[in-house]
């Protein structure tokens, strides 16, 4: 795969990823477009620039680990992994069909290059921290990157994990909260407000960076700051827009878990051209 640190190139990849997200969810007639689109720059920046990994050797012991805590946003992960060369691009539109490797939520039985099967919210950060513990014991430079949803952090296990990460000084783990402010039932502030969010993570002992989650340059700088931070784990609170890139999906709770119609898909792909 061709990695790049050029923000313009990464933005182009993110745009392609957005088109693939919309197409595969439309083909599947179900899925979660909003939270997939909001995380596009985060995953593209990680997979194409920040993380050390090798699609030709996915069992490489010193690889960085990526875990999508918010497993329902797997279209963005499938698209990025396919763009990297882990899995076939031309099969993305089999998403959610019987026999497809692109299961409804990430499933290591179908894609061994995934680091974890997720979908039940709240468990990914613990897994990433466990992998970070193993890397430290092995003297490995491997780092763990875990993307969480903002609704997901309502799960109590997240805060058990947050305590664990700081207590064990796991500076080789980076958590990214995709803070798009919307969850299934509506706006996060109306369902179970997670504010004051940065204060919470700081109080739990994490190096906390607030960042524009759609600015590739800002994400690159934040990941560099995380790598330079020693003695504590880092969390990026990535301010994002749910449904980013498709006008009628942006900030619209309906598109948390609803597939676009064929006509909506056509409109979306025009906007993402």
Partner 1 sequence: MVANKFELKPGGATREAFGKTLVELGRASTDVVVCDADLSKSTYTHLFAKEFPERFFSCGIAESNMVAIGAGLASAGKTAFVSSFSAFVLNKGFEQLRVTAAYPNVPLKVVGTHSGISIGEDGPSQMSIEDISLACSLPGFAVFSPADEVSMAAIMKLAVAHPGPVFIRAGRAKTLVVYGPEQQFEIGKAIELVTGTDVVLIAHGLMVAESLKAVDLLAAEGISAGVVDMHTIKPIDRDAIVRAAAVGAIVVSEEHLVDCGLGVRVAQVLSETKPCIVEYVGVQNTYAESGTPDAILDKYGLRAANVADAAKRALARKRG
Residue ranges binding partner 1 (CB under 8 A): 61, 65, 107-109, 115-120, 122-123, 126-135, 137-138, 156-157, 160-161, 163-164, 167-168
Which has the closest alpha carbon to 46: 60, 66, 20, 61? 66
Query: Cβ of residue 133: shortest distance to partner 1, in angstroms?
Result: 6
Tokens representing 134 are 């193993």
For partner 1, the closer of residues 154 and 157 by Cβ is 157
Q: Which residue, chain included where needed, has tokens 């691009």? A: 89
Shortest distance in whole angstroms from residue 221 CB to partner 1: 28
Give the side-chain half-sphere CA count within 13 A for 58.
Answer: 15
Say if CB 246 and CB 37 are below 8 A apart: yes
Our CB check for partner 1 shows the closer of 140 and 251 to be 140
Query: In this complex, which beta carbon is closest to partner 1, that of residue 10 or of residue 67?
Result: 67
Instruction: In angstroms, give the least distance from the CB of 157 to partner 1.
Output: 5
Closest distance to partner 1 from the beta carbon of 139 (Å):
11
d(CA 102, CA 211): 30
Complex with partner 1: residue 31 or 122, whichever CB lies closer: 122
Distance, in Å, from the CA atom of 96 to the CA atom of 101, rounded to the nearest integer, reads 8
CB of 66 or CB of 255, closer to partner 1: 66
Nearest-CA neighbor of 121 among 32, 197, 230, 58? 32
- How far apart (Å, rounded) are the C-alpha atoms in residues 271 and 245? 7
Give the nearest distance from C-beta 119 to partner 1 in angstroms: 7
């Amino acid at each position: 795969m061709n990695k790049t640190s050029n923000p313009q190139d990464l933005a182009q990849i993110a745009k392609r990823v957005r088109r693939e997200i919309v197409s595969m969810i439309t083909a599947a007639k179900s899925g979660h477009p909003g939270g997939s689109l909001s995380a596009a720059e985060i995953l593209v920046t990680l997979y194409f620039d920040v993380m050390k990994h090798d699609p030709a050797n996915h069992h490489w012991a010193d690889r960085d680990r990526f875990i999508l805590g918010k497993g329902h946003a797997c279209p963005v992960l499938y698209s990025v992994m396919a763009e990297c060369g882990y899995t076939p691009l031309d099969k993305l539109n089999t998403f959610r069909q019987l026999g497809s490797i692109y299961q409804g939520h990430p499933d290591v039985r179908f894609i061994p290059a995934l680091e974890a099967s997720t979908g039940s919210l709240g468990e990914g950060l613990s897994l990433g921290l466990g992998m970070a513990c193993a890397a430290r014991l092995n003297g490995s430079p491997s780092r763990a990157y875990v993307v969480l949803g903002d609704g997901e952090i309502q799960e109590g296990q997240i805060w058990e994990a947050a305590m664990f990460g700081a207590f064990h000084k796991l500076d080789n783990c980076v958590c990214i909260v995709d803070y798009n402010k919307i969850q299934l039932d509506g706006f996060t502030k109306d369902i179970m407000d997670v504010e004051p969010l940065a204060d919470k993570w700081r109080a739990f002992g994490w190096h906390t960076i607030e960042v524009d989650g759609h600015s590739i340059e800002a994400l690159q700088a934040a990941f560099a700051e995380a790598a330079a931070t020693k003695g504590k784990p880092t969390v990026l609170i990535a301010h994002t827009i749910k449904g980013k890139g498709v006008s009628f999906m942006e900030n619209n709770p309906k598109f948390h878990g609803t597939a676009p119609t064929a006509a909506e898909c056509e409109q979306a792909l025009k906007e993402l051209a």
